[in-house]
Amino acid sequence: MPSFHSNKSTYDPVNRLQSGVKFNVIPETLQSPFKDHFPAYYKGLVRGEPGGFVIHPKFVTNAKKIYNVKVRSDDIWIRTFPRSPGTTWTSELAWLIMNDCNYEEAARVPLSVRSPNIDTHYFTNWDDLAPSEIINARQCRSFDNVEQLPSPRVLQSHLPFQLLPPRLLNTSKVIYVALNPKDAIVSFFHFHKLVKLCYFAGEMEQFVDYFINNQVSWTPYFSSILDAWGKRNHPNLLILFYQDMKKDLRTQIEKMATFLNKSLNEKQVEKLMDHVHYLSCAGEMADCGEMTHFSPEVNRKIDEWIEKNLEGTDLKFVAE
């Protein structure tokens, strides 16, 4: 397994993934101002090439384990950008649809147990920084227990396809939830301001620069979504847009059910919609309201970044 060495800027290439991805420490993340803005990332961040994916060093020691996990034909994988407001919504809907709308079980068992995220434990120095009471309260499943979950499994991940099991898309169903890039930035900024495990000490304008320059975990934003968009015609991939879910949830639920080869009657669809509304009112799905957070100058910078990355593609995001 790759290991982190403070006096080296690369990981042993012998331990690169079978996909060919090799991780290197990003030198700037070991220096000021980054280390002052992100004090929890005292080991810096790493970048995987090819692909440029940025993540915490702890992921590297677990990358092979995730890459080699055995996927099942009845698995449902939910792929989103971290802190995307559609993650909880989609995971809850997928689990209920696949489990005959068993609301009693959904109320009894937390979503983090029913639909665990396979990479959430590797985004920071979790063991060093997270108090045991927080870990216990969240009732998060470790990756080691994922293979023991009964079928059908509904699993979450923020990783790009190249870091996931190579047979995933040809074996399992994958639902990718796309979020407007501006919403993603705002949501991720607030996450970094509120959570000690990845605390950001700077201002929004500075965070935007880190984000669009791919110096934040789980970036670059566009490479993952464009990769999924390029595979959108694959029969095992469904791409949903969070803005569409907000505007016409019924249609998106029916689309999910069809994709998952499940039939829902009118009463079941109505109850699923009510359930999601309850999640929204409970604060699970707070809107981002991104435009109020950006100065005109920063907004123009983000618009240029979006335009540059979408140039030559037919992917479009709806602005609210």
What is the domain-level CATH number for residue 178? 3.40.50.300
Please give the Cα distance from 116 to 147 (Å, whole number): 11
Residue 78 CB contacts under 8 Å (≥ 6 apart), including other chains: 87, 90, 91, 94, 115, 154, 155, 156, 157, 175, 177
180 vs 242: CA distance, rounded Å: 8
Whether 54 is in a domain gets the answer no
What type of residue sits at position 258? T
**Tens digit of pLDDT per residue, the chain (320 long)?**
333 334 344 444 334 677 789 999 999 999 999 999 999 998 999 999 999 999 999 899 889 999 999 999 999 999 999 988 889 999 999 999 999 999 999 999 999 899 999 988 787 765 565 555 444 434 455 566 788 899 999 999 999 999 999 999 999 999 999 999 999 999 999 999 998 889 999 999 999 999 999 999 999 999 999 999 999 999 999 999 999 999 999 999 999 999 999 999 999 999 999 998 877 665 544 444 444 579 999 999 999 999 999 999 999 997 65
80: Cβ contacts below 8 Å, ≥ 6 apart: 86, 87, 90, 156, 158, 176, 177, 179
What's residue 315's pLDDT?
Answer: 97
Domain-located, residue 137: yes
pTM: 0.90
Residue pair 256/93 in contact by the 8 Å Cβ criterion: yes
Is residue 259 in some structural domain? yes
Residue type, 83: R
Residue 159 inside a domain? The answer is yes
Q: What are phi and psi of 33, to 5 degrees?
A: -85, -10
Q: Is 54 helix (H, G, I), strand (E, B) or coil?
A: strand
- Residue 275: count of CB within 10 angstroms of its CB: 17
Q: For residue 197, what is the DSSP state? A: G
Question: For position 204, what pLDDT does the model report?
Answer: 96
- Which amino acid, one-letter code, is at 242? Y
Which H/E stretch holds residue 173? strand 173-178
Reduced to 3 states (helix: H, G, I; strand: E, B; else coil), residue 78 is strand
24: three-class secondary structure by DSSP: strand
Give a yes or no: residue 125 inside a domain: yes
Give the sign of the dihedral formed by CA 290, CA 210, CA 199, CA 138.
positive
Distance (Å, whole) CA 99 – CA 175: 17
Tokens describing residue 160? 């790009």
Please give the residue range of the domain that contains residue 306. Answer: 70-310
Q: Are 117 and 90 in contact (CB under 8 A)?
A: no
Pairing verdict, β 22-25 and 237-241:
unpaired
- 225 falls within a domain: yes
CA distance 102 to 96: 6
Token pair recorded at residue 180: 């407007």
Q: What is the pLDDT of residue 142?
A: 59
Total domains present in the chain: 1
Tell me the C-alpha distance between 303 and 245, whole Å.
Answer: 23
Whether residue 158 lies inside any domain: the answer is: yes
User: How far is Cα of residue 114 from the mean position of the Cα atoms in its chain?
Assistant: 17
Residue 256, Cβ density class (10 Å: 0-12 exposed, 13-18 middle, ≥19 buried) = buried
Q: 4 near 57, Cβ under 8 Å?
A: yes
The answer to whether position 297 is within a domain reads yes
